[in-house]
Each structure stands twice: as C-alpha cells, then as structure tokens.
A and B are shown apart, each in its own frame.
Chain A
C-alpha cells in the first residue's frame, strides 16, 4: 500500500458508512486514529510499509458506531466523505472526521486482507 510519489495510488477499498453517536454534546465515531504526515511512520504496527504515513485505525470501541459499521482495527483510511486522507497531518485527519455538522461519515478504507483477496481472485 505504499505509494510512489507522482504515481496514482491504487488500492482495494471498502466503503464504510459510520453513523455518529451522540454522547452529550459530542458526536463520536468510536475509534481512534494514528498516523499522519507529521507523525513517525515506523511506529505504526499496522502498516505493511513502514514509510507509509497514512491514517490508520488504532483502536475500535467495542460495540461503537465504527465497529458496527464494519471498521476494523488496522484499517487504513483513504478518504473521508471524499476528502483524501493519505497525505494529511494527524490533526487534519482528526478534524475531517469530527466535523460537528456531519452525522454520517463515509470512509474508504483498505486493509491487507482485502488486497490479498483480490490478488487471489486475480490469480485464479
């Protein structure tokens, strides 16, 4: 899932639609993110390529909106509501997810198993 600068990025993605849950004054999604272009990519336990500075899902609250929608720990988020997440800072990513006027976020996420599944079916 690494990218080559200048080349278009291709990945097999899954669409996930998360309906935020209202908790008091906040709308929460129920997961936590790590990564970003301002972060250290070598510490990412989920990425295949340790130079990948993308945004990854590091924790998922049990039973929360994200888990219910199918988000899994270790997923890399490619887009949120159409906005790219592969080249953003950590804070920008967080902000894109937590807009107060959005009840639903539609993500495109990718993970190793998706990639493998497609490769397998391509081979066969």
Chain B
C-alpha cells in the first residue's frame, strides 16, 4: 500500500522496505514422493512503518495547495504516513532522525533535517471530522495527542504550508511491525528509551470533565463545556495538503484498526531532554505522563502542557490555533487554577487577538476559551480580558459574524464579564448600542417603523438573546449613569417592552430571558422620577395632593392593542379619582418612545400580567419591583401610575402574591403596596383587603403555619403596615381586627432583630395615637405599656414624610432590604445629615454593598440599586478627582487628538 514517494529531496536515513511491493518467496518443495510442489508465498510486509521519513517536494497545485491528489503515490504515502500517527507516533521522528515527515509542505524540504522545525504535531482540526472521532471513540477525549486529521483549510488565510515551527515531539516511533527493527534507523532508535513518565500537571485525569454540559442552572453563564467540541488536544498534525476527509476516510478507519494493535507494542518515546515552555519544547515528550487513556492506548503520547498550548495559539497554522484554543477551553472548564495560570502565562491577550482572526474555527474556539476563562469567582481574569481590549474585540466580532454559535459565545462571555462591577461601564461604553442593535432589537420582534398592516412580530427567545439580556441586566444595576445610558440607548426600552408584551401574549413568562428583561425594566424604572430629562417638570410637591392644573387634556388612545407602536398617552378624565381628576399630562403629538415608555401607564398592564402569570420568583420580584419604583416619588407620572394600578385591578394581584413562599417576592410586593398606598384610594383598599395577608406574613411563635421569613422581609411588611395605618384609623382598626396586635407586641418585645423591633414599635405607637381605638384595645386586654416601647426614639409617624432628602418613602427600606450588612442604625440617617466624613464610611459600605450584590448571584445582581447610590457615586468621583489634580509630574503637553 505504501509506496516510496517518487521524488525525494532528502535521503532517507534508514532503509526501509517498501511495504508496497510484496516479496514473494518461491519455494520449491520436493516431497518424498517425488512430486514437486512449487509454492509461492507472497509476503507482504506490514504496512508501515515509519522509520524513515522522507522529505519530498510537494508539487503545488494551482491553488497553492499541494497537489496531493494529483500525485497519487505521494498522496497515498502521505496518507498512510499521516495515519501513522494513529498507530504510533512514528512519524514524528525527531529531526535528528533526519527523516522528515513526508508532509506535503514545501518548506519542509530544505531546512528540515537541520532544524527541528517542522516536526511537530499540529493539532488536528477536529471540525468536520465526525467520522474520525467515531473511530476514535475508544480514545478518550482530551487525551493528548490523539491523532486526528488536521485539514488544511484551503482558505485565503492558509499559510503557505510552511514550515511548522513547532518541533515535533521526539517521539519514538517504533517500527510498526515488530520484527522490523529498522537497522538503519539507528538514529531514531537511539532514542528508544522508555519514556519517563511523570505526572502531568495538566493532564486530563478525569475525562469526565470534558463531558460536562452547559448547566442552565448557573447564574453566570456556565463554562462552555467541550462536550460538543470534540477537539481535544489532538496531536497536532501538520495539515494535510488536502481537505481531506473525503480523501482519507475510506482508508482511515482501517488504518486505525491496523495501527492500533501496534500502539501498545511500541516503544516509549525517546526522550532527549525534556524541555519546557516554548515551542521548542513541543518535541519533548516531557516529564508528564499521558493521561490514563493514552497510556493505555499509546504510551508514547502525552498531552501538551499549558505553556505549550498557549504557544500553539500563535502557531501559523490555523487548525493548530483552533485546536489549541479548544483544548484550552477544555482545560479551563471548572478549573480555576488553570484559568489563573493561563492569565499568568499571558494567554489572554493572544486569545483576544484570535477573535479578529478571519477563520470561523479559530475565533469560535478562542471565544469559547475566553468564555470559560471569564467565568468564575476570580475576577482577575475578567480584568485581564478587559485590559487587552477584549471587550471591543468581542463587540467587533459580534458585528461581523453571522454564526449563531459564535454569537452565543460572545454574548455569554460578555454576560460573564458584566458580573464584575468595574467592567460594567466599560461594557456599556463599547457595546451598548451594538448589543441593542444586533441582538435585542432583532430578537425582540420590535420594529422601529412598524408596518400597520402586519401583525407585530413575536420575540424569539434565543440563547443569544438570553445572554445579551443577562449582560444588560447586570450593567443596568451599575448606578445612575448606567441607567441613563440604557434609557437613552436607541430602541432598547422599546424593544424590551415589545419582547415582554409578546411573552405575555404567548404565556411564556417563566424563562430566563423574560426574567432578565423585567429586571432591566425594574432597574431602569428606579428613580425615574429624578433621572429622566425633564423630570422636574412633573415634580409635585406633595404626594397625593395633586390638583389638576390647567385644563384637562383629553387624549385618545389609538391602537390600544399594540404595544410599542403608536400610542398616545392619555387618559380620559371621567373616571379619575377626585384627587387626580385632571392630571396635567403633557400634550403628546407623537407616541412615547424610548425611555418615556418606562412610565407610561400602559406598562402597568404589562407588569400586572406578568405578575399574574409568571411562576418565576425572580420575575415576580422584578415586576413588583418595577411597580414599586414607578409608584415611588412625588411625580405626576407616579401619581398616575398609582391610580392606574388600581384601575387595572392590580391591587388584588399584589395582595395574592403576598401569599408567596418566596421571601423576595413578598418583600417586593409589600414595598410596592407601601408605595401604592401613597394614593389615598389605594390606601383604603389596601387597608381593607391586604391587612389580613400582611399580618399573616408576620412571624409568630404560636402559629405553626407562619412563614419563616427573613428579617428584611419582615421589616418590609412592617413598614408597609405602618404606612397604611398612617392617616387612616380605619386601617388601624382592621389591623386590630386581624389579630395583628398580638404579633406586633411579640415582635417588639422579643424579636432578635433591632430593626424589626423598631418597626413594630412604631406601628404600635401609631395605633396608640388613635385615641378612638384605645377602647377596643383595652377591651382586648392591651394597655398603654404594650404600645409605648422604650427603644424607639420615635421618628414620629410623619417621619417618612418629614425627611427632606427623601422623596421616596421606600428608600430607607430599600437600603435595608438590599444590604444585609448594614446595621439598623444607619438607615435612619437622612442624607442631608451626612457630612463629608460620612461619605467615607458610606463609600466603604457602598463598595461592600455593590460587590455584595454583584457577587451574590453571579450575573443576577441587579437588585434595585440603592438609593444613595447617585449621590455617593458623585462624591466618589469628586474625591478621586481631587487626588488626580495634584499630579504635577506630567508637564508634557497633552497629545492632541481630533474627532473626525
């Protein structure tokens, strides 16, 4: 089968029998009986063997690729040689062996024997070699050098089948046929020392590692497992001259079978000196032992170690790069140490550089490796990616590629990166508009110019969308500036609302993408009454006392069914509450767009539908949080929203959610109710219908069925109760009627948490302040002492309204509920009391808090931003700036740059 190549530039060193030519033995046996038998036995040598390597000129075909096909002898020779890898590593004879692999690479010709160049094992491009993998089924994945085919892509980027600079491993390649001890190949045999196996640090002892599947349960985007990528670190093979699956396949499997038996018979790889590190060390078989499987299968191979893999990332041959990247991805999977080592070995800039590589296989694998590296608790890797401009590179690639898988990888990596707080602004700066334009808008089904005839498109819940929405969810929690940027991003809010609307329509509200979108909406609704441009126009001084100024505006609602389309915002006056009968809504000549949609009353219906339908706790919490944010503040729109919630029958929905088992849901809903009760009618309704549920949520020692809620939740519920009984003695009466006093007294006396105690005492004091109720209380057996507690320095029932800095009565509670680390005393400090030193402590706590919320749930860190965020952030910045100004060392004129 194998034939000598027709052309040889180099002499073979060893004598090799040409297995192709069968030798015949003719024997003549004369038997006793006089007959002569002539027997002819053909002996065909076993194929194989590679003791010699010849370098030959490879004629280049017209396209620059070696015209392997044309020269069949060479082709077949090469063919088998390549296969050889499978059998044993013969072909990687060390250069000393002086034979060179007959690889169809021209440049090998001359320099080969001298230098070690060219002998190396290219990684076999795994892509597209499905069959091949199958035949390797028995070989464990990820075990080092599994021979595979590397196809040399014929694309434009293909380097000129040039010399491979990675020297091959000085493997031993024992002769295939046992009996054949190549005499001549003495040089090689010199190396036939048993390989010294040493435990390999990066060996894949546990092959199962590569079998992990992407786990949807992770908050962060899980490492991209290599299950589907069966590119283990195959032995890098020099690319074949042809893309050859078709070419090789028929022979391949059988060759494998043939070869395999020899794998075990072989020698240990000869080791000259083990070298480490650079490319030059690829040839050494290293001190590491191959992984278990490879020992079993072929003791001569070992897996490349990490510096080698990283070196291979810069290899000229693309399949080597892509295989190295894939192997890196595999190594990094769930292995924080390796991720760290990759960073120390400066592998990350190389991977980022590969993102710009034109070949899909390369940038896909590189992106997969980066995704794995970016995942995990260690944020240094994320910083390293950002430092080598990884974020713009990812965005660039996202814009260029149409490959869905690559897009998933890119967005997954960005999701991971966005979970680290310092990077959030960077991501916004580089990628916000692109992510919106490339992913959010197309997948949401929103069209900026909706065609009135066609039905609105539905959203597609793709992985890319989920990843991108997760990334945006993270960055939206980064404070006021981030919120502003997201609100002002063209088309983002519109598209998100459209997507949510279509989710509600399809009754598919429990998926992760919906959760992410609602969280973004909640974050963007935060402080919307303060932060949107033109907000001050709508400020009302007194919540709940809005009197309509000016004429009532009658607005028509057109096209009420289609969200995100042309909707005029307006409300008919007739059924407005007497307090809000003429809301002075701005005259709209066009539909609300962009961030204005955040607070249009139509969103109320959307959030209420989500609250009604979804079972996902995070989604429920976010929707309630959004309503909470919108109904906070003294703002015309919030007044409007509060009324709209009531009119859309939202209050019962919220009350029902108080029965939820989930802490966060109960908390969010109760704070929402608290804000909503700033509206008088709401307060009455909530007082009558919700009091029972609220009281039921309070802990009680006696009640076995009482829910075991966290402190923050209990505090939230208590504050809600407080709010609804303020200014409303009927509500206080219903509190008494629902057996609430018992629980309150118990809490105020014996709760472990000072905040709970304080809140409960406030309520009790408030109740006592209603003189008309005292009779009822005393009839029940309560007396004054129960209601006047010692601990509370009474903030006064008007406390919430009295604080000048706060226009949002939920804010202190938000703080508390968001930050478990804070002690109770902090929340009582109004903003304006804090002096400059106060800020330093706040900064510290702020940082803690920020990181805490960031790290809590990985990417899902978008709890509602803390109220003091804005101010503190500003102070932070100014503090830092003041330090920088002092730097007088830089006296050189600043470089000029001009925008064009």
List A residues at the B interface (Cβ < 8 Å): 28-29, 31-35, 39-40, 43-44, 58-60, 62-63, 67-68, 70, 72-73, 90, 94, 97-98, 113, 117, 120-124
Check: B848 CB closer than 8 A to any chain A CB.
no
Across the interface, which residues of A come within 8 angstroms of B396, CB to CB?
Answer: 67, 70, 72
B430–A39 touching, CB < 8 Å:
no
Nearest A residue to B354, CB-CB: A113
B392–A32 touching, CB < 8 Å:
no
Give a binary string over B335-370; 1 marks a CB under 8 Å from any A CB, 0 the rest. Answer: 000000000000000000100100000000000000
List B residues at the A interface (Cβ < 8 Å): 107, 157, 159-165, 314, 316-317, 353, 356, 389, 392, 395-396, 399, 429-434, 437, 892-900
Quick one: which of B107, B160, B353, B895 contacts A34, CB cutoff 8 A? B895
- A33-B897, A33-B900 given as contacts; is B159 within 8 A of A121 (CB)? yes
Across the interface, which residues of A come within 8 angstroms of B389, CB to CB?
Answer: 73
Nearest A residue to B353, CB-CB: A113
Across the interface, which residues of A come within 8 angstroms of B162, CB to CB?
Answer: 121-124
Quick one: which of A39, A59, A67, A113 contacts B896, CB cutoff 8 A? A39
Across the interface, which residues of A come within 8 angstroms of B430, CB to CB?
Answer: 62
B433–A63 touching, CB < 8 Å:
yes
A63 to B162 CA separation, bound complex (whole angstroms):
38
B900–A97 touching, CB < 8 Å:
yes
B159–A43 touching, CB < 8 Å:
no
Across the interface, which residues of A come within 8 angstroms of B893, CB to CB?
Answer: 40
How far, in Å, is B322 (CB) from chain A's closest CB?
15
B900–A31 touching, CB < 8 Å:
yes
Among A28, A70, A124, the most chain B Cβ lie within 10 Å of the Cβ of: A124
Across the interface, which residues of B come within 8 angstroms of A90, CB to CB?
Answer: 896, 898
B898–A120 touching, CB < 8 Å:
no
How far, in Å, is B79 (CB) from chain A's closest CB?
22
Interface of B, secondary structure class, is loop
Across the interface, which residues of A come within 8 angstroms of B164, CB to CB?
Answer: 124
How far, in Å, is B300 (CB) from chain A's closest CB?
26
Q: Which 6 pairs of residues, A with B, have the shortest CB-CB distance? A: A124-B162, A124-B316, A121-B159, A34-B897, A63-B433, A124-B159
- A123-B165, A124-B316 given as contacts; is B892 within 8 A of A40 (CB)? yes
Across the interface, which residues of B come within 8 angstroms of A33, CB to CB?
Answer: 897-898, 900
- A39-B895, A62-B395, A113-B353 given as contacts; is B165 within 8 A of A124 (CB)? yes
How far, in Å, is B804 (CB) from chain A's closest CB?
40
A90 to B896 CA separation, bound complex (whole angstroms):
8
A35 to B894 CA separation, bound complex (whole angstroms):
11
A110 to B576 CA separation, bound complex (whole angstroms):
66
A33 to B316 CA separation, bound complex (whole angstroms):
32
Quick one: which of B159, B432, B896 contacts A120, CB cutoff 8 A? B159
Across the interface, which residues of B come within 8 angstroms of A60, CB to CB?
Answer: 392
Across the interface, which residues of A come within 8 angstroms of B160, CB to CB?
Answer: 121-122, 124
- A68-B399, A113-B356 given as contacts; is B437 within 8 A of A63 (CB)? yes
B899–A32 touching, CB < 8 Å:
yes
A-B contact pairs, 12 of them (CB 8 A): A31-B900, A62-B429, A67-B399, A70-B396, A90-B898, A94-B900, A113-B356, A120-B314, A123-B162, A124-B164, A124-B316, A124-B317
How far, in Å, is A91 (CB) from chain B's closest CB?
8
A62–B159 touching, CB < 8 Å:
no
Across the interface, which residues of A come within 8 angstroms of B434, CB to CB?
Answer: 62-63
A100 to B281 CA separation, bound complex (whole angstroms):
57
